[in-house]
Structure 1
Amino acid sequence: MNATQEHQAVTFRRASADDLDTLEQIENRCFDGDRLHRRSLRNWIKAPHGEFIVAVQQDKVVGYGLVWCHKGTRLARLYSLAILPEMRGSGTAARLMSELGSATAARGYLFMRLEVAKSNTAAVALYRRSGYRVFGEYHDYYEDHSDALRMQKTIRYLSIDKTQHLTPWYQQTTPFTCGPAALMMAMASLDETLVVDQKQELDIWREATTIFMTTGHGGCHPLGLALAASQRGFSVDVLINTEGPLFVEGVRSAHKKEVLGVVHQQFVEKTGQDTHIRVVYAEIGQQRISDWLQEGYAVIILISTFRLDGKKAPHWVAVTGIDERCFYVHDPDAGDDSQLAIDNQYLPITREDFDKMSAFGSGRLRTALAIKKRSR
Structure 2
Amino acid sequence: MTTVRRSAAALAVSAVLGVAIASAAAPSAAADTTPSPSAVLPAGLFGSGDPTYDGVWRQSLALLAQDTAGEKPAGQAVQWLTGQQCDNGGFTSYRADTKSPCAAKVPLDSNATAAAVQALAATGGHDKAVEKSVTWLKSVQNPDGGWGYNPGGASDANSTSIVIGALAAAGEKPGEVTAKGGKSPYDALLTFARPCGGKDGGAFVYQPGQPGLVADSTAAAVVGAHGEGLVVKAPGTSDTAVPACGPAKTIEGAAGNGAAHLVTALAKTGHLEAPPMPGSDDPAAKPDFGTTADAVVALAAQGLGEQTKKPLAWLEKESARWAKESGPAAYAQLIFAAHAGGADPRDFGGRNLVTSLNALGPEPEKKAEKSSGSDDSDSGKWWFYGALFAACVGVGVLFSGRRKSQR
TM-score (structure 2 length as normaliser): 0.22
The structure carrying a bigger strand percent of its residues is 1
